[in-house]
């Protein structure tokens, strides 16, 4: 635990872990708590920011979810599971997210891939199969005007690994960007105090999600692809292209990570 600059409260983050990565990823890079801690550290806007990251295994039946009152932000990780699966832990997770969003609005919610899909499903939207179509590796995502304001650029390059998607925006959410494969590549829910006459600032952002994986790297994507290919989930040509695409330059530690940090930091009260 540390300070977020001089005279401010510590930034306290809860990580809702929705899966365990495949064995080769765990062996070299650790589980999601280690992967996210590394990504958050490497994408910080300034070096003096420190944080406490507490992890909770949402996919475990008896997990006690974090007390939202104790955290500035809650991050939902990706998962090999589908957000529409009728599993008890997924139903519990959606109910928890809906409760945090409505009963604890001061807590910022950040959704990554499956987390993005869970947030959509919990708050009036849905997640559905994308006709078996994969998005894997670094993908260019053209941004909307709000997306450009959030990320500070006209388009982002982000790691992807999914074949489910959010087909339409949940009520109140604003689109950040789209691809031809997935129309909702990111979304933002502003606080009720936001005026539609201006673009929402980080301080006016309650929830921020992305369909991709800013925490993934080329080697992580390569190892996941190899496992999926061995299991027959990806054919040879698709696996080869996915591995190559995973090593293209991307903005996970750059403008994407920093945009997420801005939203989380905006939730910290200053004296």
Rounded Cα–Cα distance for residues 144 and 170 (Å): 17
pLDDT in tens, 7-40: 456 799 999 999 999 999 999 999 999 999 999 9
Rounded Cα–Cα distance for residues 117 and 32 (Å): 18
The pLDDT of residue 10 is 75
Rounded Cα–Cα distance for residues 215 and 238 (Å): 22
pLDDT of residue 2 exceeding 50: no
- The helix/strand/coil state of 112 is strand
pLDDT in tens, 240-267: 999 999 999 999 999 999 999 999 999 8
- The helix/strand/coil state of 255 is helix
The pLDDT of residue 267 is 81
Mean pLDDT of the chain: 94
The pLDDT of residue 9 is 60
- Tell me what percent of the residues of the chain surpass a pLDDT of 90: 90
Question: Which of 163, 158, 159 lies closest to 228 in space, CA to CA?
Answer: 163
End-to-end CA distance of the chain: 18
Would you say 146 and 188 are in contact if contact means Cβ atoms under 8 Å apart?
A: yes
The pLDDT of residue 240 is 96
- Dihedral sign for Cα 41, 111, 85, 164, please: negative
Q: List 103's β-bridge partners, or say none.
A: none
pLDDT of residue 3 exceeding 50: no
Rounded Cα–Cα distance for residues 22 and 8 (Å): 38
Domains and CATH numbers, the chain: 11-130+163-217+251-266 (3.40.50.880)
Total number of residues shown for the chain: 271
pLDDT of residue 62 exceeding 90: no
Would you say 252 and 216 are in contact if contact means Cβ atoms under 8 Å apart?
A: yes
Q: What is the pTM of this model?
A: 0.95
The pLDDT of residue 25 is 98
Rounded Cα–Cα distance for residues 220 and 21 (Å): 9
Q: List 57's β-bridge partners, or say none.
A: 17
pLDDT in tens, 164-222: 999 999 999 999 999 999 999 999 999 999 988 899 999 999 999 999 999 999 999 99
């Amino acid at each position: 635990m540390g300070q977020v600059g001089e005279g401010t409260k510590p930034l306290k983050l809860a990580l809702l872990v929705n899966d365990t990565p495949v064995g080769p990823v765990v062996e070299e890079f650790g589980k999601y708590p280690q992967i996210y801690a590394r990504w958050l550290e490497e994408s910080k806007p300034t070096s003096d920011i420190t944080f406490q990251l507490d992890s909770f295994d949402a996919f475990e039946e008896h997990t006690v979810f974090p007390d939202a009152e104790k955290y500035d932000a809650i991050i939902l990780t990706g998962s090999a599971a589908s957000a529409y699966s009728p599993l008890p832990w997924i139903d519990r997770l959606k109910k928890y997210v809906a409760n945090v969003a409505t009963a604890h609005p001061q807590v910022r919610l950040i959704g990554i891939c499956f987390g993005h899909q869970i947030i959509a499903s919990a708050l009036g939207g849905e997640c559905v199969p994308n006709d078996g179509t994969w998005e894997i590796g670094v993908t260019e995502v053209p941004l909307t005007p709000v997306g450009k304001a959030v990320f500070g650029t006209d388009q982002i390059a982000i790691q992807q690994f999914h074949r489910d998607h959010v087909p339409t925006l949940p009520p109140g959410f604003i689109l950040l960007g789209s691809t031809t494969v997935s129309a909702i590549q990111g979304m933002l829910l502003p606080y009720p105090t936001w005026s539609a006459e201006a673009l929402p600032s980080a301080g006016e952002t309650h929830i921020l999600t992305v369909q991709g994986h800013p925490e993934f790297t080329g080697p992580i994507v390569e190892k996941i692809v190899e496992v999926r290919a061995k299991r027959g989930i990806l054919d040879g040509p698709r696996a080869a292209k996915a591995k190559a695409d995973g090593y293209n330059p991307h903005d996970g530690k750059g403008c994407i990570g920093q945009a997420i940090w801005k939203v989380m930091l905006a939730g910290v009260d200053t004296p």
